[in-house]
Structure 1
Amino acid sequence: MRRVVQVSTGNVGRHALRALIGRPDLELVGVHASGPDKIGRDAGELCGLDRPVGIAATGDVEALIDLAPDCVVYTALAETRPMEAIEQLSRFLRAGINVVGTSLVWMAAPRYAEDWVREPLAAACTAGDSSLYINGIDPGYSGDTLVHTAASLVTRIGSITVQEIFDYGNYDDAEFTGASMGFGTEESAELPPLFLPGVVESLWGPQVRALAANLGVTLDEIRQRTERWFTPDPIGCTMMAVAPGQMAAVRFATEGVLDGRVVITLEHVNRLTAAAAPEWDFPPDGHVGVHRVVIEGEPRVEMNTHLSHPVFDPTDAGCISTAARVVNAIDWVCDAPAGLVAVEDVPQSALMRGLLWAEV
């Protein structure tokens, strides 16, 4: 049985925590929380269970390292604090503790990540004889595993388009998602972080490069494009209240160019209400969201992934699946050779770990 520590109990972390508690092959031994309102509370309470599990959340990283777990599940927000997250991850890795994580998305395709993020983490893995695996839904599954499956059905590929099309109105994350994308800002305001030159390309570029390499293609250029939509009407939703004239939809993409033609596109289309940006793509059949891959080729292949849950909102279902991408990899990563693990290193059959577990 693998001994595991959960780091963070936010939108993704609380679902990872609930999964860890319910798994018969994993033993939760510690939980890290950063908010004073969470430290000291029982792990069961933090993930919505109606019973305690006897593990209290702590803010002390060294105390968690002293537990000598086999693996840490790292779902703490890293994109707004990358250097701090790299140092925190490195502390676990240098101590010989394997890490699986859903944040620090620059590392979703580690062989193509920039030196500033890849090198210190690789050095920490070497020092601790440990492994690090970063993945999720997007970046992650939609831009790698789903594409790999679709591409295996095609004899000739003309282009690949990967899309997340989602209504974020019910996503309770104004602090990061809302602020970084610029929801609720006016057109005259400073550009939100995601729209600054090179940011989209930095986050999703490694996956574009990885896809091109898997296809044996050397791209001429990788570029980003961005577009915002401003609402003429007020919008009230879980994410935030948006006044007329403020941004209520966004689309952005990283594009790989070959011979003057866009051949790989990783695109987001996100809005705060179904009424926003009516001319942009919508999920099919009235769904709230979709992760879609379209390969134009012989034959044309389109795969649409819809996530749902009998209790939780579809955005929460996406968070559950994001957690699943790493929780299900714990056993394999713990047995892997030391170093940075890429999605293509992990046999997909090794990730089939969610079947037949009893209800928590």
Structure 2
Amino acid sequence: MRKPRIIQWGTGSMGRTTIRRILDRDDVELVGAYVTNPDKVGRDVGEIVKRPATGIIATNDIDQILALDADVVLHTSQISVPYAGQNADVIRLLESGKNVISPNGYNRPDYHGPDYAEPLRNAAIKGGATLAGIGLNPGFIVERIALSLAGLVGGRTDMRVYEVVDASNAPSPGLVFNAMGFGSDPAVSDLRQGPVAELYDTYFAEIFDYVAEKLGTRITEITPLHELTLAPHDIAIRVGTIAKGTVAATTWKWRAGFADGSGMLLSILWTSSHELHGEDAAAHWVIEIDGRPGVRATVELLDENPEAPPAKPAMDAMAVLLLNAVPHVMAAGPGFWDLPAILPARREVAP
């Protein structure tokens, strides 16, 4: 039985991490890499990730990627406005018979309605392939950890999940200044009202849909409560300088109400400096659940090298998630892959 043959789609920070993990393992094989940076086209993938030559040449020609004999595409391109803009490429990959694993959503395509979901589903069925959304958040912290902890709580009333991402050392200007919105001038445009907010409203709503289903209830409302933190002075980060008075941190925050009377808060803080937040920006994730008993848990990802960039442990963890999912996704039937989870006890509802 041959090893799963993998194509890496995107060679930003996450894609390069995933490629290194593939090269380090003996149970999978890298067979191709798709890049968008013209400077990477025609280069050996090993050179791109600072490893010995692999014989695999990076390309920006999707037809070359479609022609490869591969089982899985690890789709880690940078998510951008509009949310559905990535779907055209994903549809072509699925139609060619390649399973697609992506952290860019796809956890609950049906939540966005048939106009969004059906082209993806039809492409998967046509190609006999599976589309799987897998990641840390969405995909793991809430869906696997928080829901499992909810199984300890009787009379559950509220769940709160807080995430902190330190972007000060992120190497991609596009990620920091575009996708994250750092350096934007609130006097010119309010991130909380524009297309970036719409992107994240859509992307993270899939978490609430998953939670509601697994708890045996449904969403009644989702209210955005987004916050901006402005730079009190110029802040130097790896990819440039955030000017005083512009956005130095964003808190993407939503409160959902469920039909069983419970609620959930999801708060995601992306920051250029922990100094802006005091003690509120410590662990990567904090999970709190109210009920009998209440639960509070923290999750922090660590690197054995204390000098490692703050984002490195999260990228390593993401790579592990993506690669460990490969055999399970390959074994699934055509269509959408439903992320498995340990199901908690449902909330007690008085008769």
State the partner residue of 2:14: 12
| Deviation of 1:199 (Å) | 4.2
Q: Provide the rounded CA distance (Å) in 2 between the counterparts of 1:108 and 1:320.
A: 20
Residue pair 2:192, 2:226 contacting (<8 A) in 1 also: no
Structure 1 pair 182/61, CA: closer, same or farther in 2 (3 Å)? closer
| Deviation of 1:324 (Å) | 2.2
| Deviation of 1:182 (Å) | 2.6
1:127-138 alignment, distance < 5 Å: 127-138=126-137
| Deviation of 1:295 (Å) | 1.2
State the partner residue of 2:76: 75
Residue pair 1:110, 1:341 contacting (<8 A) in 2 also: no
State the partner residue of 1:282: 281
Residue pair 1:139, 1:207 contacting (<8 A) in 2 also: yes
Q: Does 1:66 align with 2:67?
A: yes
State the partner residue of 1:329: 325
Q: Please, which moves more after superposition, 191-200 or 243-252?
A: 191-200
State the partner residue of 1:318: 314
State the partner residue of 1:184: 183
State the partner residue of 2:26: 24
Residue pair 1:201, 1:223 contacting (<8 A) in 2 also: no
Q: Does 1:56 align with 2:76?
A: no
- Please tell me the residue identity of whatever aligns with 2:290: E
Residue pair 1:102, 1:134 contacting (<8 A) in 2 also: yes
| Deviation of 1:239 (Å) | 4.3
Q: Does 1:297 align with 2:285?
A: no
| Deviation of 1:232 (Å) | 2.0
Q: Does 1:101 align with 2:102?
A: yes
What is the aligned-residue RMSD (CA, Å)? Answer: 2.4
Residue pair 1:195, 1:226 contacting (<8 A) in 2 also: no
Q: Provide the rounded CA distance (Å) in 2 between the counterparts of 1:46 and 1:199.
A: 30
Q: Percent of aligned pairs with the same residue?
A: 25
Q: Does 1:223 align with 2:223?
A: yes
Residue pair 1:74, 1:99 contacting (<8 A) in 2 also: yes
Scaled by the length of structure 2, the TM-score of the pair is: 0.88
Q: Provide the rounded CA distance (Å) in 2 between the counterparts of 1:193 and 1:264.
A: 20
| Deviation of 1:236 (Å) | 0.8
Residue pair 1:171, 1:315 contacting (<8 A) in 2 also: yes
| Deviation of 1:346 (Å) | 10
1:104-253 alignment, distance < 5 Å: 105=105, 107-192=106-191, 198-253=198-253
| Deviation of 1:193 (Å) | 6.9
- Please tell me the residue identity of whatever aligns with 1:19: R
Structure 1 pair 194/76, CA: closer, same or farther in 2 (3 Å)? farther
Structure 1 pair 186/87, CA: closer, same or farther in 2 (3 Å)? closer
Q: Provide the rounded CA distance (Å) in 1 between the counterparts of 2:151 and 2:280.
A: 26
Q: Provide the rounded CA distance (Å) in 2 between the counterparts of 1:152 and 1:61.
A: 45
| Deviation of 1:275 (Å) | 1.7
| Deviation of 1:177 (Å) | 3.9
Q: Does 1:39 align with 2:41?
A: yes
Deviation digits for residues 313-359 of structure 1 (CA, Å, limit 9, x no counterpart): 12122122222222210111111111111212799xxxxxxxxxxxx
Q: Please, which moves more after superposition, 2-11 or 336-345?
A: 336-345
Deviation digits for residues 194-234 of structure 1 (CA, Å, limit 9, x no counterpart): 75564443221121121012111233211211111212222
| Deviation of 1:243 (Å) | 2.1
Structure 1 pair 294/345, CA: closer, same or farther in 2 (3 Å)? closer
Residue pair 2:110, 2:116 contacting (<8 A) in 1 also: no
Q: Provide the rounded CA distance (Å) in 2 between the counterparts of 1:290 and 1:266.
A: 13
State the partner residue of 1:254: 254
Q: Provide the rounded CA distance (Å) in 1 between the counterparts of 2:155 and 2:225.
A: 27
Q: Provide the rounded CA distance (Å) in 1 between the counterparts of 2:299 and 2:206.
A: 22
* Secondary structure at 1:172 match in 2: coil
Q: Provide the rounded CA distance (Å) in 2 between the counterparts of 1:70 and 1:346.
A: 28
| Deviation of 1:92 (Å) | 1.3
Q: Provide the rounded CA distance (Å) in 1 between the counterparts of 2:220 and 2:80.
A: 28
| Deviation of 1:149 (Å) | 2.1
State the partner residue of 1:342: 338
Structure 1 pair 72/180, CA: closer, same or farther in 2 (3 Å)? closer
* Secondary structure at 2:321 match in 1: helix
| Deviation of 1:79 (Å) | 2.7
State the partner residue of 2:348: none
* Secondary structure at 1:217 match in 2: coil
Residue pair 2:79, 2:179 contacting (<8 A) in 1 also: no
| Deviation of 1:95 (Å) | 1.2
State the partner residue of 1:353: none
| Deviation of 1:28 (Å) | 1.0
How many residue pairs were aligned? Answer: 338
Structure 1 pair 177/235, CA: closer, same or farther in 2 (3 Å)? closer
Deviation digits for residues 258-302 of structure 1 (CA, Å, limit 9, x no counterpart): 479771111112221122144x7221xxxxx41222111222222
Q: Any stretches of 5+ residues in structure 2 without a counterpart? A: 344-351
